[in-house]
Amino acid sequence: MNANPVAIVVFLILFLLVACLGFVATRWRKADLHSVHEWGLGGRSFGTIITWFLLGGDLYTAYTFVAVPAAMFATGAIGFFAVPYTILIYPILFLCFPRLWSVAKRHGYVTAADYVKGRFGSRTLALAIALTGIIAIVPYVALQLVGMQVVFAGLGIPSTFAGIPNLPVILAFAVLAAYTYSSGLRGTALTAVVKDLLIYITVLTAIIVIPSALGGYGKVFDSIDPKKLLLAGGSDTSLGATFSYATLALGSALALFLYPHSLTGILSSSSSKAIRKNAILLPAYSLALALLALLGYMALAAGIKAMPEYAAGFAGFGDNFSIPALFLHMFPGWFVGLAFAAIAVGALVPASIMAIASGNLFTRNIYKQFINPDCTDRQEGRAAKLASLSMQIGAVLFVLFFPTSAAIQLQLLGGVWICQTVPAVLVSLYTRWFHPTGVLAGWAAGIISGTAMAWQLSLKGSVYPLHLGDLTIPSYAAVLALVLNFVVAILVTLVMNAVSPNKTDETVPADYHS
Q: What residues contact 127, with CB distance under 8 A and at least 6 apart?
A: 113, 365, 366, 369, 370
What's residue 235's pLDDT? 67
What are the C-alpha distances in Å from 377 to residues 352, 357, 363, 484? 22, 17, 11, 40
Q: What is the pLDDT of residues 368-423, one digit of tens each?
A: 999 999 999 899 999 999 999 998 888 888 777 776 666 666 777 888 999 999 99
Contact between 322 and 73 (Cβ < 8 Å): yes
What's residue 102's pLDDT? 97
Q: Percent of the chain, pLDDT > 70?
A: 92
Q: DSSP states of 84-101 as a string? A: HHHHHHHHHHHHHHHHHH
Q: How many CA atoms lie within 13 A of 260 on its CB side?
A: 35
| Cα–Cα dist 191/63, whole Å | 17
In this prediction, residue 326 has a pLDDT band, given cuts at 50, 70 and 90, of confident
Q: What is the dihedral of CA 279, 360, 126, 47, to 10 degrees?
A: -20
Structural domains in the chain?
A: 5-233+252-512 (1.20.1730.10)
What's residue 408's pLDDT? 67
The answer on pLDDT for 313 being more than 60 is no
Residue type, 43: G
What are the C-alpha distances in Å from 455 to residues 448, 477, 512? 10, 11, 39
In this prediction, residue 314 has a pLDDT band, given cuts at 50, 70 and 90, of very low
**Closest listed residue to residue 443, CA positions, set 420, 427, 466, 460:** 420
In this prediction, residue 227 has a pLDDT band, given cuts at 50, 70 and 90, of confident
Specify whether the backbone of 271 is left (phi greater than 0), alpha (psi in -120 to 50) or beta.
beta
The answer on pLDDT for 480 being more than 50 is yes
Q: What residues contact 501, with CB distance under 8 A and at least 6 apart?
A: 435
Q: In this predicted structure, which of 173-187, 233-247, 261-275 has the lowest mean pLDDT? A: 233-247
Residue type, 236: D
| Cα–Cα dist 329/161, whole Å | 27
Phi, psi of 431 (to 5 degrees): -150, 145
Task: State the average pLDDT for the chain.
Answer: 86
In this prediction, residue 158 has a pLDDT band, given cuts at 50, 70 and 90, of confident
Contact between 387 and 362 (Cβ < 8 Å): yes
Length of the chain: 514
Q: Which residue(s) pair with 471 in the sheet?
A: 468
Q: DSSP states of 410-458 as a string? A: HHHHHHHHHHTTHHHHTGGGT---S-HHHHHHHHHHHHHHHHHHHHHTT
Q: Which helix (H) or strand (E) segment is 165 a member of?
A: strand 164-165
| Cα–Cα dist 209/355, whole Å | 36
What's the CA angle centered on 102, arms 98 and 104, to 5 degrees?
115
Tell me how far the alpha carbon of residue 275 is from its chain's centroid.
18
What's residue 499's pLDDT? 93
Contact between 280 and 93 (Cβ < 8 Å): no
CB atoms within 10 A of CB 514: 14
Tell me how far the alpha carbon of residue 143 is from its chain's centroid.
10
Cα(first)–Cα(last) distance of the chain, in Å? 56
Q: Would you call 18 exposed, middle or buried from its count of C-beta atoms within 10 A (0-12, 13-18, 19+)?
A: buried
Specify whether the backbone of 331 is left (phi greater than 0), alpha (psi in -120 to 50) or beta.
beta
Q: What is the pLDDT of residues 440-455, one digit of tens each?
A: 999 999 999 999 998 9
Q: What is the pTM of this model?
A: 0.90
Of 84-93, 111-120, 220-229, give the range with the top mean pLDDT. Answer: 111-120
In this prediction, residue 509 has a pLDDT band, given cuts at 50, 70 and 90, of very high
The answer on pLDDT for 315 being more than 50 is no
Of 1-5, 180-184, 397-401, give the range with the top mean pLDDT. Answer: 180-184
User: β-pairing, 164-165 with 160-161?
Assistant: antiparallel
What's residue 383's pLDDT? 94
What's residue 305's pLDDT? 63
What's residue 207's pLDDT? 87
Residue type, 240: G
CB atoms within 10 A of CB 495: 13
| Cα–Cα dist 403/405, whole Å | 5
40/60: higher pLDDT: 40
Q: Return the SS3 of 263.
A: helix
What's residue 83's pLDDT? 80
3/135: higher pLDDT: 135
What's residue 312's pLDDT? 45
What's residue 20's pLDDT? 85
What share of residues in the chain are helix, strand, coil (percent, to 5)? 75, 5, 20
| Cα–Cα dist 221/132, whole Å | 41
Contact between 62 and 199 (Cβ < 8 Å): no
Q: Which residue(s) pair with 46 in the sheet?
A: 269
Phi, psi of 510 (to 5 degrees): -65, -20
Question: Treating both helix axes as pointing N-terminal to C-terminal, what angle do 48-59 and 333-362 enclose, rounded to 10 degrees?
Answer: 100
Average pLDDT rounded to a whole number, residues 51-73? 78
In this prediction, residue 138 has a pLDDT band, given cuts at 50, 70 and 90, of confident
Q: Return the SS3 of 467.
A: strand
